[in-house]
Chains A and B, each alone.
Chain A
Amino acid sequence: MAKLISIRHPRQLGMSMLVAVLMLAATFPAQAAVEHAPPTADHSKFRSLEGPFETASDVTEACVKCHTEAAGQIKATTHWTWLYKHAETGQALGKNQVINSFCGMAITNEPRCTSCHAGYGWNDMRQPPPEADSAVDCLVCHDTTGDYWKFPTLAGDPTYIPREWPKGSGKIVQPPDLPNIAQNVGASGRANCGSCHFYGGGGDGIKHGDLDSSLVTPDRSLDVHMSPEGGNFTCSDCHTTWGHSVSGSRYQVNAKDTLGIDVPGHTDLSRASCESCHGGAPHHKKKLNDHIDKLACQTCHVPAFARGGVPTKMWWDWSTAGKLDAEGKPVTEYDEHGHLSYLSEKGDFRYGENVVPYYAWFNGTVEYTMIDEVLDVENPPLEINRIEGGPDDPDSRIWPFKLMRGKQPFDTERKTLLATHVFGADDSSLWSNYDWPKALQAASDMSGMPFSGNFDFIETRMYWPITHMVPPADQALHCGSCHAGESRLAGIGGIYIPGHSSNPWLDRIGWLVVALTLAGVIIHGLLRVVFRKRKQS
C-alpha cells in the first residue's frame, strides 16, 4: 500500500490522492493493539507464594527458588548498580555518580533516593548495594495488582505498618497484601516502570517532561503507542530486555538509528528507537523522508511534552529556599495555574504543561559536569550535562529536549558544584532546619566531597532528550512550524531551512533591482503620457 500511494511525480498527484482516499476508506484498519503471549505459569498455583511474608525480601526468596538466575541478572544491570561507564566519554556515570539540577545527588539523600533502587535496604550509598539475592526487588517490576508501592523513605521497602504519606497530609498508607501480590506477578506493564520513572525528581512528571503518570492509561492523542486505544505498548515492547538488562539509555542515546527495522540475527534486537519498527523511510511522501537525515523523528512527532495534564518542572531556584513565615512556619505558594511556585524546603519553581521543546544538534552522547569538576563560574549558566553533536557530524540530528533551568549551590572557593543533604530525619538536612551551610557541610561529610564552607548559587541548565508522548501522525508538526520566519528551529546553526533561512544581501539586492525596474517602467510610462498630451495640445 505504501508503494501504491507514494507520490513520485506530481502529475500523478491527483490520481494518487484519489486512490489513497479510496484505499484508506476501504481497507485501513484501526491500529491494532500489540498482543502479548499468555504466561506459561499461573503463580497463584504455587504453594510457596501463599505466604505469609513478613517482608518483601521474603517474597524475593520465594521467587529465586525457581527463577534461579534472575537475582544475579538484576545485580548486573544499571537498575541495580546505578553505575554506567560511558563508552564514548569514559565518564563514570549513573545515579551513584552524577549530580543533577533537581535534588542534587542521590548519595547524600538516601534512603529517600534509594527508595527507587530495584532492591531493598540500600541505606548507605558509600557502600555498594546489599549483596544478598533476597535484597533484589522482583515485585516493583512484576506486580500486576497495582498494590505494591515502595514507600518513599524506606530505602526500597514497602511499609509494613500503616504510615502517613505525604507527611502531614493525614493520608494513611496501608501495608501491601504481599501473598496476593506474589500470586499475581506477571510481565512488566507501564505502571511498573512508571512507579519510579514517572516520579523522578521527587514527584509526578517533575523530571523528564515526557514521562509521567498520564502514560499509565494514555489517550490515543497523548501517546499513540502506549494508549489502550492505540498500540497498548508496554515500556518493554520498545525497551527490549536481555536477561533483565533493559535497552535504551539516556547517557548514550541512539540519536540516528541507521540499522532500520530490527530483524533477528541481523541487528541489535533493541527496539528503543523509532527506526527499529518504522524503518528508515517511514513516510508515504518522499519529501518527508528527505528530512530524516537531519531531524530526529521526535522533532516533528513530539510537538510538545507534558501534554497529559501533569505539569513538569522547568525552573528550580534553590537559592530562595528557607524563607519562613512570621510564625517561623514553612511557606507554600501556588501560581495562577494552581502549580506550586514556592516551597520553603525547595525554593522557587516554574512548572510547564504543553511545553514546546528546546532543539539542538545531538549525536547521542551526553557528557556530565561531575561533582569534582572545576567550573567556569564567571560564565553562567553552567551546563550540568552537555549534549554533543553538530551540523557537520553525520551521526547528529536535530533533537527535542526539555531544557531544565534553575539555580543550585556551588563552592565559591573550590569552584565546584555541591552535593546537598536535603532529606534526612537528622537536624542537618535542609528540609529539617532550612540551614544551607549545615546541609551542605553534612552533604560534604556524607559524600566525602570537600567543601570550603563558602558557597553561592549558580544558574544551571540540564538537557533531557524528549522521545515519549508521540501523538498520532496527524498531530505531528506542520511544515510551517519550522519553514517560517518564526521557526521552531530558529537559532539552530549549520542548516539551510527554506522559508526560514535566507541571505539578507541577496534579498536586499533582489528586491532593490525589482523596485528599480518597477520605478523605471512607471517613470517611462508617465513620461509617455506627458509627451502624448503635450503633442495633442
Chain B
Amino acid sequence: MSRVLVYKRFERFWHWFQALLIFSLLITGFEIHGSYSLLRFGDATQLHTIAAWSLIVLWLFAIFWHITTGEWRQYVPTSKGLFAVIHYYLIGTFTGAEHPYRKTTKAKHNPLQRLAYLFFKLVISPIIWASGLLYLFYNDWPAMLAGALNLETVALVHTAAAFAMLVFIIAHVYMTTMGHTLTSHIKPMVTGYEDLDEPASKS
C-alpha cells in the first residue's frame, strides 16, 4: 500500500465545479420546467443560462485536458470484470466480500464506473448540451431546422436528459459511500491522494 496522487488538481477542480454547476442547473432547470417555484422564473432562467455557459466552457477545458493528458483512456469500456463488479454491488457487499476490482492510477475506474461515466459523457451530456443550445437559440433557428423541429420537442428532450442526469447523480452520490468506510471514496476526490497497491507515482 502506498499513498499516490489519483486525481490531479485540474481533475478535482473540474469535477467539483461541474458538480456545483449541475446542481444549479438542476435546481433552476426544474423550476423553469414548472416543477416548483423557488426563485422567480426570470431569475431562474438567467441563472440557468449563466451556469450553462459556464459548464460549456468548463467542458471545453475538460475535453482538452482529457485529450492532451491521455486520461480519456480511463473511460474506454471493458467487459472484463464487469459482471464481477455488478455481482459485488448486488450480493458481495452484503456478504462481506472484497471488492473484485483493484484500482490503479492507470485504471482508476472499475468496469461499471467506466460504463456509467462514458454514458454520462457521450449520451446524457451531449444531449443536454445540444438540446439546451437549441432551446436557448430557438428564435435563431434556420428555416430548415424550424420546419423539422419545434420548441416542444426540444424542451421534452432537454427535460428527459435532465431526468437522466438526476438519476445519474442520485446513483453516483450513493455509490461514493460504498468504499471501505463511508468517506473513503470521497476523500481522494477532495485531496487527490489515495492508498493504492502500486508503487508511488513520480508526480
Contacts and interface: CB of A to CB of B under 8 A. Distances in A.
Contacts of B178: 528
Interface stretch (A107-115, A246-254, A334-342, A475-483): A475-483
Contacts of B93: 528
B170 A10 contact: no
A480 B40 contact: yes
Nearest to B174: A521
A272 to B, nearest CB: 26
B53 A9 contact: yes
A290 B152 contact: no
B33 A499 contact: yes
A525 interface: yes
A502 B34 contact: yes
Interface stretch (B6-14, B16-24, B41-49): B41-49
Q: Is the interface of A mostly helix, strand, loop or mixed?
A: helix
Interface in A459-511: 478-480, 483-485, 496, 498-503, 506-507, 510-511
Contact of B33 (A10, A13, A478, A502): A502
B177 A485 contact: no
Contacts of B33: 498-499, 502
A497 to B, nearest CB: 9
A290 B138 contact: yes
A263 interface: no
Contacts of A498: 32-34, 155
Given A10-B49, A506-B156, A510-B160, A479 B167 contact: no
B37 interface: yes
A398 to B, nearest CB: 15
Nearest to A521: B174
Q: Is the interface of B mostly helix, strand, loop or mixed?
A: helix
Contacts of A501: 34, 152, 155
Contacts of A500: 34
A167 to B, nearest CB: 53
B71 to A, nearest CB: 26
Interface string A511-537: 101100110110011011001000100
B155 to A, nearest CB: 6
Contact of A10 (B31, B50, B152, B174): B50
Interface residues of A, number: 37
A499 B34 contact: yes
A479 B45 contact: yes
A484 B31 CA distance: 9
Contact of A510 (B32, B151, B155, B159): B159
B191 interface: no
A531 B171 contact: no
A528 B89 CA distance: 10
Interface string B127-170: 00000000000110000000000111001100110010011001
Nearest to B162: A510
A484 B37 contact: yes
A293 B32 contact: no
B45 A496 contact: no
A386 to B, nearest CB: 27
A11 interface: yes
B94 A531 contact: yes
B96 interface: yes
A287 interface: yes
Nearest to A11: B53
B68 to A, nearest CB: 24
Contacts of A293: 139
A92 to B, nearest CB: 39
A484 B34 contact: yes
B156 A503 contact: yes
Nearest to A512: B163
Interface in A287-342: 287, 289-290, 293
A57 to B, nearest CB: 57
A535 B97 CA distance: 12
Given A10-B49, A502-B33, A531 B95 contact: yes
B94 A496 contact: no
A479 B170 contact: no
Contact of B170 (A480, A483, A503, A518): A518
Given A9-B53, A499-B32, A514 B167 contact: yes
Interface string B162-196: 01001100110010011000000000000000000
Given A521-B171, A531-B94, A513 B40 contact: no
Given A496-B150, A514-B170, A479 B34 contact: no
A22 B171 CA distance: 48
B86 to A, nearest CB: 13
B124 to A, nearest CB: 13
Given A10-B53, A293-B139, A500-B34, A514 B42 contact: no
Contacts of B35: 507
Contacts of A289: 139
Interface centre among B32, B89, B152 (most CB of A within 10 A): B152
B94 A527 contact: yes
B42 A480 contact: yes
A479 B41 contact: yes
A13 B52 CA distance: 14
B96 A535 contact: yes
Nearest to A290: B139
Interface centre among B34, B40, B53 (most CB of A within 10 A): B34
Given A503-B156, A506-B159, A478 B40 contact: yes
Nearest to A289: B139
23 contacts: A10-B46, A10-B49, A10-B54, A11-B57, A287-B45, A478-B41, A479-B40, A479-B45, A483-B41, A484-B37, A484-B41, A496-B151, A498-B34, A499-B31, A506-B163, A510-B163, A513-B167, A514-B163, A517-B167, A517-B170, A528-B93, A528-B178, A531-B96
Interface of A: 9-11, 13, 287, 289-290, 293, 478-480, 483-485, 496, 498-503, 506-507, 510-511, 513-514, 517-518, 520-521, 524-525, 527-528, 531, 535
Interface of B: 31-35, 37, 40-42, 45-46, 49-50, 53-54, 57, 89, 93-96, 138-139, 150-152, 155-156, 159-160, 163, 166-167, 170-171, 174, 177-178
Q: Which 4 A-B pairs have the closest CB atoms?
A: A510-B163, A479-B42, A521-B174, A496-B152
